[in-house]
Amino acid sequence: MTNLCITTSERNTIVSHKHALFNKVIAGLIAGLMTITVGGCSASDAQSMIDEARSYANSSQSSASQSSSSTSSGSDGTWSETDAPNYYKVTGKADFSAAGTMPSACEIRYSELDSLGRAGMAVGVVTYQLMQSGSDRERDMPDTIAGWPEHNPKVEIVFSDGDKYHGYLFNRSHLIAKSLGGEDAERNMVTGTRTQNVGDNDATPGGMAYTESKARDWLRSHRNGTIEYMATPRYTGDELLPRTVDVDIRTSDGSIDEHVITYNTAAGFDIDYMNGGTK
């Protein structure tokens, strides 16, 4: 099947051209408004219209390159093994209002890193072609990301059903999975516990893998469909690790429509969210 997705570089070039054209239109509008005083409009009225045009231009460009706020949404990220034994919890229907204008089909939009080097919101409209391109691409992980520990300990994590995980405590956790077309890049990753990333990694996926698996399964049986998908890390203050990552997922047929909280913790460990590692 022909891959209908364009590359990030190509899309960025298109967006850049759109912004340049937009700026020319606004500049022409402002120039026109500045001549209104000659036609009888008062200087104060003309200046008011000019200010409104400039304000609109600034807000429109800000929305076009919107990155999510990296602050906490009000939840302290407290995890309850009773409520979320597999490190995720479905709390309602998807809400994409924070994304503004949604990307086009086959496109993922990432926030730029903030002043602390932390990733923000990532939002995309995932297609079967995008999923395939991500799955087929060779993995190219960054050496480090915000909050990545100097020493990643090997640990034992005991789950509520008695099963145990033996391995590294921390993962470079994608906001939008590579298997859904997400980049292997700092702006698409947070330092997450193994359990935040995949839960107990048993027959029923947990953590971020819960929604990722649902998305892949749905696209395999709906190859002409699309999935709106958004992941938003929630930080507290200047902490480098998010306490939670919110995931919103909605299929084009409405059969999946969920807001999911994934918990960046691990039973038996005190995570150092400020600096990375454990306390």
Q: What is the pLDDT of residue 9?
A: 46
Q: What is the share, in percent, of the chain residues with pLDDT greater than 90?
A: 68
Q: Domains in the chain, ordered, with CATH?
A: 88-263 (3.40.570.10)
Q: Is the pLDDT of residue 11 over 70?
A: no
Is residue 160 exposed (0-12), middle (13-18) or buried (19+ Cβ within 10 Å)? Answer: exposed
Instruction: Identify the CA nearest to 253 among candidates 220, 229, 224.
Output: 224
> pLDDT tens for residues 198-223?
999 787 899 999 999 999 999 999 99
- pTM, two decimals, is 0.76
Q: Band of the pLDDT at 252, cuts 50, 70, 90?
A: very high
> pLDDT tens for residues 43-101?
555 455 545 545 444 444 433 333 344 443 435 679 999 999 999 999 999 999 999 99
The label of the residue with tokens 């050496």 reads 143
The CB density around residue 85, as the number of other CB atoms within 10 Å, is 17
Residue 235 · residue 72 · CB < 8 Å: yes
Coil vs helix vs strand at 132:
helix
Q: What is the pLDDT of residue 72?
A: 37
The label of the residue with tokens 């807001």 reads 259
